[in-house]
């Protein structure tokens, strides 16, 4: 009798749970229907009766975007015109001619043709001004619009009219679009004193990233035996989660947890484990991060840090612990929707901002004392809520205001591009000894200037200058101050000579020998890479970092 009563109670509880869930489910669908009806009524009234005529499409888009603005910045509506760009991001391939475009003043120029693709093969050069694409003027366009015009079906033709320094008439190019593959690995090389440390610059986690990495690692092993590896994830914004898991696979035994996703629904909560025997189980590794390393990059770095498999070096990562999926919608639109958060093997979340309150303003970062503590496999302390913090912090030296302004305006690139066009320069040409002085003269010809805090202060003082009397000493002092600031700016060119010469040399190499050579020459100038080599050459220090 007691057993029958127990069975009855359990059955009733199960039925009650099912009914409760059904009621809750029904309630949310009723609320959705109710609110959609209200929204539809408001939309119709505004679109048909508002004092000014409003385009229905733009009105609806504003409504959708306002709704999404209350969520996280990664949940976005993708309209019909953006679908092609989404496909490029997800597949890493598209039909095009292979070039990057950017601004030069108000004109659109070629920043870099991709090696081996139609634009490069046809002789289009960095610095060429794009006048027309298929007869359409680029005046008033931004670089993204120009880029979009170059994309199309593989095998279709495209015409470009460009202007080149030193040639007094436009040059026309007729090109055929090819399959352009966005590289996952931007650069790879054996570096170090004995050329026995593999360096791989991974720029994204697109399709086949893990297999490309595998092939490169095997190639390194066959070439030198490889005694260490530097995996550079700086400025890698992430990509496909499964590729991140497969990357970790190459260095960790099968059956180890790499990452866990936790969402609102059961099918959005999953655990991902390593599956295959590792290529390099004990190879010393350093992972490079900075504030531009996000999402899948943080999954890889977080897993290898929690499992004490690699030393993390550089700066704290971005802190994007949210997972998105693409939901197809009507009329060839879609919704990029955040459905879960991910957690590293120790259980920590790397999400740095809580977007559930006050639209996720930056001041919602958790204070250090309130962040939960976790442990790596060896018992090292790690904390959640601020991205992946490096085991050894090396902050990139801040560029001076002068350097920043020159880089922002791309002046070194344009100067070298013009110099190469004006002189008989080929791959064997040596970097001129007087290039820095020529660059200074170029800046003077271009009336180059940059605004300091002192300039802004002088501007404020000048607003009151009309109140100075003719005999007022303040007017004279103001002129002297302005002259002093200008003299200090001239001195800053000399103070930053080494940095500017390095920038000019790298642009020279890029313009004469290509982007790959530019990366190769920049490695010895990178403090983070030189520190990585130092750690990998000292096994006692390497082991100490992973045990403390």
Does residue 273 have a pLDDT over 90?
yes
User: Could you tell me the pTM of the whole model?
Assistant: 0.77
- To the query of whether residue 306 is one of the catalytic residues in this protein, the response is yes
Tell me the mean pLDDT in the region 4-31.
Answer: 56
pLDDT interval class at 286 (50, 70, 90): very high
Token pair 């929690």 is found at 306
Does residue 200 have a pLDDT over 90?
yes
Catalytic hit among 120, 188, 293, 295:
295
For the range 374-381, what are the long-range contacts, defined as Cβ-Cβ under 8 Å and sequence gap of 24 or more? 374/306, 374/346, 374/347, 374/348, 375/346, 376/305, 376/306, 376/307, 376/308, 376/346, 377/306, 377/307, 377/308, 378/308, 378/546, 378/547, 380/308, 380/546, 380/547, 380/548
Which of residues 149 and 4 earns the better pLDDT score? 149
Tell me the mean pLDDT in the region 249-256.
Answer: 95
Catalytic hit among 249, 306, 334, 346:
306
DSSP state letter for 349: B
Catalytic hit among 320, 489, 505, 518:
320
Tell me the pairing of strands 392-393 and 311-314.
Answer: parallel
Please state, rounded to an integer, the average pLDDT across all residues of the chain.
84
| Model pLDDT for residues 441-487, shown as the tens digit of each residue | 998 888 888 777 777 777 777 776 666 665 567 677 777 787 887 78
pLDDT interval class at 538 (50, 70, 90): very high
pLDDT of residue 482: 78
DSSP state letter for 366: P
- To the query of whether residue 44 is one of the catalytic residues in this protein, the response is no
pLDDT of residue 343: 95
pLDDT of residue 376: 96
Which of residues 395 and 368 earns the better pLDDT score? 395
Token pair 């989660």 is found at 241
Tokens found for residue 346: 């120790």
Does residue 365 have a pLDDT over 70?
no
C-alpha of 280 from chain center: 28
Tell me the mean pLDDT in the region 232-253.
Answer: 93
Cβ-based burial of 425 (10 A; exposed 0-12, middle 13-18, buried ≥19): middle
Q: Which residues contact 225 (CB under 8 A, 6 or more apart)?
A: 196
- To the query of whether residue 34 is one of the catalytic residues in this protein, the response is no
Q: Within 13 Å, how many C-alpha atoms sit on residue 51's CB side?
A: 0
Of 378, 344, 375, nearest to 245 by C-alpha is 344
| Model pLDDT for residues 154-168, shown as the tens digit of each residue | 999 999 999 887 777
In this structure, of 135-139, 332-336, 345-349, the range with the lowest mean pLDDT score is 332-336
Cβ-based burial of 415 (10 A; exposed 0-12, middle 13-18, buried ≥19): buried
User: What whole-number percentage of the chain has pLDDT above 90?
Assistant: 35
Tell me the pairing of strands 322-328 and 334-343.
Answer: antiparallel
Tokens found for residue 45: 């009234």
Cβ-based burial of 174 (10 A; exposed 0-12, middle 13-18, buried ≥19): exposed
Tell me the mean pLDDT in the region 82-87.
Answer: 61
User: What whole-number percentage of the chain has pLDDT above 70?
Assistant: 88
Of 239, 241, 216, nearest to 229 by C-alpha is 216
pLDDT of residue 217: 95
Does residue 355 have a pLDDT over 80?
no
Tell me the mean pLDDT in the region 500-504.
Answer: 91
């Amino acid at each position: 009798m007691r057993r029958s009563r127990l069975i009855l109670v359990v059955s009733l509880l199960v039925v009650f749970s099912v009914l409760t869930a059904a009621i809750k489910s029904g309630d949310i669908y009723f609320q959705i229907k109710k609110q959609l009806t209200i929204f539809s009524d408001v939309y119709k009234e505004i679109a048909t009766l508002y004092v000014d005529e409003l385009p229905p499409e733009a009105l609806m888009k504003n409504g959708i975007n306002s709704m999404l603005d209350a969520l996280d910045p990664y949940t976005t509506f993708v309209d019909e015109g953006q679908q092609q760009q989404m496909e490029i991001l997800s597949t890493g391939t598209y039909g095009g001619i292979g070039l990057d475009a950017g601004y030069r003043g108000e004109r659109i120029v070629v920043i870099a043709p991709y090696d081996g693709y139609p634009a490069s093969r046809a002789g289009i050069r960095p610095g060429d001004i794009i006048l027309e694409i298929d007869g359409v003027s680029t005046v008033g366009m931004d670089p993204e619009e120009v880029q979009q015009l170059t994309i199309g079906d593989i095998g279709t033709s495209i015409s470009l009219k460009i202007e080149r320094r030193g040639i007094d008439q436009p040059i026309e190019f007729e090109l055929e679009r090819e399959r352009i593959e966005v590289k996952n690995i931007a650069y790879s090389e054996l570096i170090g004193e004995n050329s026995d440390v593999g360096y791989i610059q991974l720029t994204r986690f697109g399709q086949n990233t893990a297999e490309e990495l595998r092939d490169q690692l095997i190639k390194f092993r066959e070439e030198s035996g490889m005694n260490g590896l530097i995996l550079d994830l700086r400025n890698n914004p992430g990509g496909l989660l499964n590729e991140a898991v497969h990357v970790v696979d190459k260095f960790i035994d099968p059956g180890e947890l790499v990452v866990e996703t936790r969402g609102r629904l059961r099918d959005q909560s999953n655990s991902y484990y390593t599956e295959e025997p590792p290529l390099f189980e004990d190879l010393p590794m350093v992972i490079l991060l900075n504030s531009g390393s996000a999402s899948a990059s943080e999954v890889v770095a977080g897993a290898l840090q929690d499992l004490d498999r690699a030393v993390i070096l550089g700066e704290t990562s971005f802190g994007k612990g949210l997972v998105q999926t693409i939901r197809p919608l009507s009329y060839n639109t879609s919704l990029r929707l955040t459905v879960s958060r991910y957690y590293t093997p120790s259980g920590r979340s790397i999400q740095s901002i809580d977007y559930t309150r006050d639209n996720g303003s930056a001041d919602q970062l958790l204070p250090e004392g309130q962040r939960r503590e976790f442990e790596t496999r060896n018992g090292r302390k790690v904390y959640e809520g601020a991205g992946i913090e490096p085991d050894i912090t090396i902050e990139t030296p801040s560029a001076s205001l002068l350097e920043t302004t020159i880089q922002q305006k791309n002046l070194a690139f344009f100067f070298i591009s013009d110099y190469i066009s004006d002189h008989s320069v080929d791959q064997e040409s040596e970097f001129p000894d007087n290039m820095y002085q020529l660059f200074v003269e170029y800046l003077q010809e271009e009336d180059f200037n940059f605004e300091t805090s002192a300039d802004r202060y002088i501007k404020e003082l000048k607003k009151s200058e009309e109140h100075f009397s003719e005999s007022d000493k303040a007017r004279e002092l103001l002129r002297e101050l302005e002259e002093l600031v200008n003299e200090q700016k001239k001195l800053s060119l000399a103070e930053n000579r080494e940095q500017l010469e390095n920038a000019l040399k790298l642009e020279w190499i890029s313009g004469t020998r290509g982007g790959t050579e530019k990366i190769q020459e920049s490695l010895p100038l990178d403090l983070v890479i030189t520190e990585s080599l130092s750690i990998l050459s000292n096994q006692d220090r390497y082991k100490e970092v992973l045990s403390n």
